[in-house]
Amino acid sequence: MSTPSRRLGVNIDHVATLRQARMSPYPEPVLAALLAEHAGAGQITCHIRCDRRHVNERDIRLLRETIKTQLNVECAATDEMVSIMEALRPHRVTLVPERPEEVTTEGGLDLTRPATLAEVKAAAARLVAAGIRVSLFIDPADEQVRIAGQLDGVDMIELNTAHYAEGHPEDLARLTRACVVGQGLDLEIAAGHGLTHHNLPDLVKAVPEIVEYNIGHSIISRAVFVGLDRAVRDILAIILQS
């Protein structure tokens, strides 16, 4: 079955990681974004972290000015990050949890935690007032999806696929269930984290409710060997044909 309404968000963080490894002016994440779009990406995704270990404000400003699809920026629900988003105005912000010492995002937002919920609500209100769409990165658990669906201004969730990607095919049932709950609450459903051309086909087949995939590390890694154009096209073929 071909489902052209599905889209691929290519996360270009790790092009910036390579740049920051040497503090060099290259490789240019904006060029990667334009090549990814040329190969069929429907969205460019990046994560501005509090320590700026890869993407920074300059990258987001240039991405916003140059890309032709849409820009989805992942960030923590902090006052600093929300202020940056209000100034740079990406099309969408995906709120994620962030711990300074983590290598990559570990788990979704825990919306059952009152402090997290309060931060997310405050951030979402400001982002929506600035005309920015808001998505929440959460684990595929009914309770998390239900809370997300009740929040003003939140009409999208991104389900964390890290556990599935680490070799837990039983998570496909959790992901399906989370999608059913989310669709019942009129949430648009994205997924991401740890996805590769090896684990993606089963996910796309088993959970057709997912309309957007945000994939970074595996695409940029594979691009080192086969080129970015082919790395993006191969992933896109899985998303559109499964």
- Positions marked catalytic: 47, 74, 193
Min separation Cβ 194 and ligand PXP, Å: 5
Triad 89, 98, 183: Cα angle to 5°: 70
Asked if residue 11 binds ligand PXP (CB under 6 A), the reply is yes
What does the alpha-carbon distance between residue 77 and residue 75 come to, in Å, rounded to a whole number? 7
Contacts of 173 (CB under 8 A, 6+ apart): none
Please identify, using beta-carbon distances, which residue of 1 and 140 lies nearer to ligand PXP. Answer: 140
Q: Which tokens hold the place of 171?
A: 């998570």
Min separation Cβ 77 and ligand PXP, Å: 13
* Contact letters for ligand PXP, residues 184-213 (x by CB under 6 A): --------xxxx------------------
Of the candidate residues 43, 69, 105, 144, the single one contacting ligand PXP (CB under 6 A):
105
Asked if residue 92 binds ligand PXP (CB under 6 A), the reply is no
Asked if residue 74 binds ligand PXP (CB under 6 A), the reply is yes
* Contact letters for ligand PXP, residues 119-158 (x by CB under 6 A): ------------------x--------------------x
Asked if residue 164 binds ligand PXP (CB under 6 A), the reply is no
Asked if residue 97 binds ligand PXP (CB under 6 A), the reply is no
Nearest to 157, CA basis, from 187, 113, 129, 123: 187
Please identify, using beta-carbon distances, which residue of 165 and 181 lies nearer to ligand PXP. Answer: 165
Asked if residue 96 binds ligand PXP (CB under 6 A), the reply is yes
Asked if residue 112 binds ligand PXP (CB under 6 A), the reply is no
Please identify, using beta-carbon distances, which residue of 2 and 49 lies nearer to ligand PXP. Answer: 49
Residues that bind ligand PXP in the complex, under the rule CB under 6 A: 11, 13, 47, 74, 94, 96, 104-105, 137, 158, 192-195, 214-218
